[in-house]
Amino acid sequence: EPEVTQTPSHQVTQMGQEVILRCVPISNHLYFYWYRQILGQKVEFLVSFYNNEISEKSEIFDDQFSVERPDGSNFTLKIRSTKLEDSAMYFCASSGRTPANTQYFGPGTRLTVL
């Protein structure tokens, strides 16, 4: 069964450093998303991406964040200058041409900012 994959599973970085989180969505999907979940809190929407551009972004997704689909398979989230409060699980999701918004999530990348 197709699945969303994410790398790395765990990333440790120093405050102020840049990180890139990588995702491979399900191959025939068209809509791509990033969410995050701070430990003990709810899953929060960051950004959605369709047709090579951002469809929607939350207020969390400020100028320090960017997304890219550099080729036909990868979808990346870049945090330019990490802060302590960026420590969280980051989930990538994708959905296809379905009547409903059936988003399938990857296993997540745990980002720890020291």
Partner 1 sequence: QKEVEQDPGPLSVPEGAIVSLNCTYSNSAFQYFMWYRQYSRKGPELLMYTYSSGNKEDGRFTAQVDKSSKYISLFIRDSQPSDSATYLCAPTTDSWGKLQFGAGTQVVVTP
Task: List residues near partner 1 by CB under 8 A.
Answer: 4, 31, 33, 35, 41-45, 48, 50, 55-56, 58, 89, 91, 95, 98-108, 110
Rounded to the nearest whole angstrom, what is the least distance from the CB of residue 36 to partner 1 in the complex?
Answer: 11
The contacts of residue 89 (CB under 8 Å, 6+ apart) are 36, 37, 38, 39, 108, 109, 110, 111
Shorter beta-carbon distance to partner 1: residue 18 or 56 = 56
Diameter of the chain by CA atoms? 42
- The two beta strands, 10-13 and 5-7, are unpaired
Shorter beta-carbon distance to partner 1: residue 72 or 99 = 99
Rounded to the nearest whole angstrom, what is the least distance from the CB of residue 31 to partner 1 in the complex?
Answer: 5
Shorter beta-carbon distance to partner 1: residue 65 or 105 = 105
Rounded to the nearest whole angstrom, what is the least distance from the CB of residue 16 to partner 1 in the complex?
Answer: 26
